Amino acid sequence: MTDAAPDREAVVDLGAVRRNVETLRATIGTEHTIAVVKANAYGHGAVPVARAALAGGADRLGVADVSEALELREADIAAPLLAWLHGARPDFTRTVEANVELGISTLDQLDAAIDAAKSTGRVAVVHLKLDTGLSRNGLSADAWPTATRAARAAETAGLVRVAGVFSHLSGTSPDADTAQADALDRGLADAARAGLDPEFVHLAASGAALTLPGTRYNTVRLGISIYGLSPFSDREPAEFGLTPAMTLRSRVVATRSIPDGQGVSYGHTYRASGDTNLALVPVGYADGLPRQASGAAEVWIGGARRPVAGRVAMDQIVVDVDGTPASVGDEVVLFGDPATGVPSAEDWARAAGTIGYDIVTRLGSRVRRTYVGE
């Protein structure tokens, strides 16, 4: 980026990540904690966040893709690391060589893990995933007895180690989640009958880990909560002692005054009610601001929350600063920690009809990440 390019910055407080993990571990109390750093750590930056989460007491890391796992290994992160979403007909050779543990959701994936063990001469460490009702990824209950027996045979042959058994919840209701835990219990009994003795049993992500103790087993997989956002759209992170780690900030690049009735931005969906002042902020939907939040979101300028005037454009928004003094170069906070008065990522999510996860994860490539609190 040159000095002339606009300032678009996501400041990530790694101290907040570390403290969030400490707080979560104290609340949840499981023996093991998998910090989920998929999708570039929900937009926060996988490598620095992984280090901060480990410093906060997470003992394992989780990602979706093996490519995400290999990036962490290339950054010399040696912690136990699980990847659980694979392409069609995967080749796990590099993954097993890099000592990355594999979530196994099909018999083909189990075969691929065995092949990788044979070709590398290393034991493939796997976590068998049972579909307990989400109907997304995981072995079906029908395939489970066959899979557990095949995994045990490969274990006996010294090719595989079944380190874990896991599943994922739908979060539909406490009753539905509890029924999934019951299905996992049945799957664990099958696994024991097949001769497996998994060290890690995990079902709960942030939401259930915080609110349904019966889903915790000995390991939880925590994503959104380590970033200081709430897994629930109707509960604030502060209720759980969590602090948002990301602040999206920019600077005013132009100001103008407009008369009563003047329309603003595409389609003139906003009209000034009275003479007013506008500030131009160079962050748009290409940078991750949801266009659906047009006309509903607020940003922080000059010590106050001010409304976004009209449509969010690709590269910029216009803010009605009215009586608030705003000058070129003034700092703008799009979202951050609401305890400081600024809008939260959840506020943007509500304005756009989505969830906080979607707001932080979608930041575009023009947004520079910087780190504080290391």
Interface with ligand PLP by CB under 6 A: which residues? 36, 38, 84, 168, 205-207, 221-225, 231
- Report which DSSP code applies to 141: T
Cα(266)–Cα(350) distance, integer angstroms? 22
Strand partners, 197: none
Q: Which is it for strands 32-36 and 219-222: parallel, antiparallel or unpaired? A: parallel
Q: How many helices (H) and strands (E) does the chain have?
A: 11, 19
- Alpha-carbon distance 34 to 82, whole Å? 9
Q: Which residue do the tokens 């543990």 mark?
A: 101
User: What residues act catalytically?
Assistant: 38, 266
- Between 120 and 211, name the residue whose CB sits nearer to ligand PLP: 211
The phi, psi pair for 318, rounded to 5°, reads -115, 135
Q: Nearest approach, Cβ of 155 to ligand PLP (angstroms)?
A: 23
Residue 314 annotated in ligand binding: yes
Q: How far is the CB of 185 from ligand PLP (least distance, A)?
A: 19
Q: How far is the CB of 61 from ligand PLP (least distance, A)?
A: 12
Torsion of CA 154, 71, 363, 354, to 10 degrees: 10
Min separation Cβ 20 and ligand PLP, Å: 12
Is 136 marked as a binding-site residue?
Answer: yes
**CA nearest 23: which of 216, 235, 210?**
210
Quick one: 84 or 200, whose CB is closer to ligand PLP?
Answer: 84
Sheet hosting strand 331-335, strand order edge to edge:
304-307, 298-301, 331-335, 246-251, 8-13, 368-372
Q: Nearest residue by C-beta to ligand PLP?
A: 223
Using CA atoms, how far residue 41 sits from 47, 67, 353, in Å, is 8, 13, 22
Return the beta strands (E) in 14-51 as ranges. Answer: 32-36
By C-beta, is 208 or 309 nearer to ligand PLP?
A: 208
For residues 168 and 251, which CB has a smaller minimum distance to ligand PLP in the complex? 168
CB neighbour class for 44 (10 Å; exposed up to 12, middle 13-18, buried from 19): buried
Q: Binding site for substrate: residue ranges? A: 136, 314
Q: Binding site: residue ranges? A: 136, 314
